[in-house]
Structure 1
Amino acid sequence: MDLIQKFFDNIGRSDIDKNSKNLLSDGIIDSMDIVSLVAEIEKYYNKPLKSDFIKAEYFENFNTIQQMIMENIK
C-alpha cells in the first residue's frame, strides 16, 4: 500500500491515503487523475497496463488499485 501512496504522491494527490474510499464514485479523483496514476504505475513497472484491466471499479480504493496492478503484472 505504500507503493500506491507513492503513486498518488507523485501525481500531486497526497491528500489521498489508504483509508480513502469511493475515490471515483464520490468524485475524489477524476479521469485525469486516473490517467496520471496509470502512467505512474506503468513507469514504475516499466510495462504497459492491459486496457482490459483499466476499469472504473479498480479505482475506488487502495485495495482495488492493488488488485488491478496484481492482475496486470502477473
Structure 2
Amino acid sequence: MGIGHRLISGGVYHRAPEVPYVNERRGRAVKKLLLVALAAIGGLLVYRQIQADRAEQDLWTEATDSVPAGSGV
C-alpha cells in the first residue's frame, strides 16, 4: 500500500528508495546555493573593506589638509 512516497508495513513507515538522479540534482542545487552564499559573503566583505579604506583616506585627507576647514580661503 503506498501513500505518496511512503509505504506502510506493519505500522512502520518506510521511505521509498530515492532515485540516484534526484539525489544528484539535489546535491548540485545545494552546491550552487552554497557557492552563491559564499560569493555574497565575499562581496559583502570586500564592500566593507572598501568603505573602511575610503573612511580612513577621508580622515587622512582631513588631518593633512593644509587649509583648515571653514577658514573661507
**TM-score band, normalised by shorter chain:** under 0.3
Higher relative contact order (CA 8 A, sep 6+): 1
- If the length of structure 2 is used for normalisation, what is the TM-score? 0.24
- If the length of structure 1 is used for normalisation, what is the TM-score? 0.23
Question: Which one has the bigger strand percentage?
Answer: 2
